[in-house]
């Protein structure tokens, strides 16, 4: 197991689930396991803990999800040129600890690392979605409120997911990760229906801000291995952080990526500048007071988030977009949580509708 756990809690009714059986079998000796009536009791912030959010990440809770698994991407908004992404919430929170992570705000009142024992019920929701939308294709991801593969070595959820999506013509699964936990995927044939994507940052950002994640070179090596195993791969340059040497470092990172994964084998790339609500910025700066990446030149934008000063942000987007264009193969690219006007500045075109982008990315 690559991440430390302080405790595991199993909600009543989940003890005999396949997930709980696998997790308890794989747990290292010495991690206490407690059975609880209601997972909500142990999912709240620990009273008196010096860092309740950080403590929550080390408490694994196996519970039943009582609300739907499938929802539109929570980052979506009519203000932004969105990508038509659908989110499947099979877990909540993440054992890694990036200083800029929006979960510090989003899950502040509910920080335990929860994994849902009834996750295969989500397959019925997906089948209903496609039955009601004849001929349409959807890109569905599990990496929004959790990393898709962190802890897969003990949950093995990815195997069931890949086997399900491999048999569904109109669905593409996106597993989004900052790990290199790919062992469970290597011997299953995804039949072209599974994309694995990595968020990539230069070494300076990785060292300063992406605690417990796999090094960028290890993420790229994992992408190569999965490409060879029949998976599609994609990369998110998000959050882009405009520190002093950023342009040089991001372009070097892209060169390192293209050396291992040729551009024509990349399904798409996305970019998104660092963005933080005031509450998130306060939480991040108080948990990571020495992280210089959290102290860039930012201004409060009209959507209520601090964003990098627009000329700096646009210049970085354009430099990367130019590098992708020069790569000799057309790599579909989109911006995350940016208005259409920024898209036009960067790519010189009006963005397509979210549903159209979603279908294009799903079909590959
Ligand atoms: S890997 Fe992703 S989900 Fe996990 S802490 Fe970092 S940004 Fe958050």
In tens, the pLDDT along 311-329 reads 999 999 999 999 999 987 6
| The token pair that represents 143 in the structure block | 């990496």
Beta strands 91-92 and 113-116: pairing type?
antiparallel
Cα end-to-end distance, the chain, whole Å = 33
CA 34/CA 208 separation, integer angstroms: 35
pLDDT bin (cut points 50, 70, 90) of residue 74 is low
Instruction: Give which of 196, 170, 174 is closest to 183, Cα–Cα.
Output: 196
CA 238/CA 211 separation, integer angstroms: 16
CB contact at 8 A, 202 and 249: yes
pLDDT bin (cut points 50, 70, 90) of residue 85 is confident
Angle (CA) 75 80 83, round 5°: 70
CA of 194 to the centre of ligand 1 (A): 21
CA 245/CA 201 separation, integer angstroms: 13
CB contact at 8 A, 248 and 224: no
CA of 136 to the centre of ligand 1 (A): 30
Q: Which atom of ligand 1 is nearest to the CA of 178?
A: 1
Beta strands 275-276 and 266-273: pairing type?
unpaired
Instruction: Give which of 128, 174, 123 is closest to 148, Cα–Cα.
Output: 174
pLDDT of residue 163: 97
pLDDT at residue 50 is higher than 60 = yes
CB contact at 8 A, 226 and 175: no
Instruction: Give which of 114, 116, 83, 111 is closest to 97, Cα–Cα.
Output: 111
CA of 93 to the centre of ligand 1 (A): 8
CA 287/CA 52 separation, integer angstroms: 10
pLDDT of residue 101: 97
Domains and CATH numbers, the chain: 68-108+126-363 (3.80.30.30)
User: How much is the average pLDDT of 337-355?
Assistant: 75
Query: 144 CB under 6 A from ligand 1?
Result: no
- N residues, the chain: 364
pLDDT bin (cut points 50, 70, 90) of residue 304 is very high
Torsion 90-96-97-98 (CA) sign: negative
CA of 96 to the centre of ligand 1 (A): 6
**Distance, CA of 240 to chain centre:** 15
> Where is average pLDDT lowest: 149-163, 323-337, 345-359?
345-359
User: How much is the average pLDDT of 345-356?
Assistant: 71
CA 272/CA 239 separation, integer angstroms: 5
Q: Which atom of ligand 1 is nearest to the CA of 143?
A: 3
């Amino acid at each position: 197991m690559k991440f430390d756990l302080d405790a595991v809690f199993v909600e009543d009714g989940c003890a005999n689930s396949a997930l709980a059986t696998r997790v308890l079998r794989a747990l290292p000796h010495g991690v206490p396991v407690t059975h609880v009536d209601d997972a909500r009791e142990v999912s709240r912030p620990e009273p008196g803990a010096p860092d309740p959010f950080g403590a929550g990440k080390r408490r694994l809770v196996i519970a039943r999800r009582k609300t739907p698994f499938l929802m539109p991407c929570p980052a979506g908004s009519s203000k932004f040129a969105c990508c038509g992404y659908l989110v499947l919430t099979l877990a909540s929170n993440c054992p890694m600890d990036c200083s800029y992570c929006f979960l510090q705000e989003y899950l502040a009142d509910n920080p335990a690392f929860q994994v849902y024992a009834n996750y295969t019920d989500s397959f019925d929701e997906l089948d209903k979605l496609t039955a009601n939308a004849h001929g349409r294709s959807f890109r569905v991801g599990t990496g929004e409120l959790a990393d898709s593969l962190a802890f897969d070595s003990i949950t093995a959820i990815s195997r069931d997911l890949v086997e399900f999506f491999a048999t569904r013509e109109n669905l593409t699964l996106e597993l989004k990760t900052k790990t290199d936990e790919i062992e469970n995927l290597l011997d299953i044939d995804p039949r072209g229906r599974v994309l694995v994507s990595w968020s990539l940052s230069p070494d300076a950002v990785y060292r300063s801000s992406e605690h417990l994640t796999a090094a960028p070179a290890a993420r790229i090596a994992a992408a190569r291995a999965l490409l060879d195993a029949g998976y599609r791969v994609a990369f998110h340059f998000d959050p882009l952080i405009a520190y002093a040497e950023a342009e040089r470092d991001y372009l070097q990172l892209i060169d390192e990526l293209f050396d291992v994964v040729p551009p024509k084998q990349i399904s798409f790339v996305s970019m998104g500048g660092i963005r933080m609500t005031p509450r998130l910025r306060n939480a991040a700066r108080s948990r990571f007071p020495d992280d210089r990446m959290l102290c860039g030149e930012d201004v409060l934008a009209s959507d209520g988030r601090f964003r990098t000063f627009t000329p700096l942000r646009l210049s970085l987007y354009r430099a990367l977009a130019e590098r992708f264009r020069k790569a000799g193969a057309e790599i579909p690219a989109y911006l995350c949580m940016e208005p259409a006007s920024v898209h036009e500045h960067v790519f010189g075109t009006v963005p397509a509708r979210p549903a159209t982008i979603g279908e294009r990315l799903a079909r590959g």
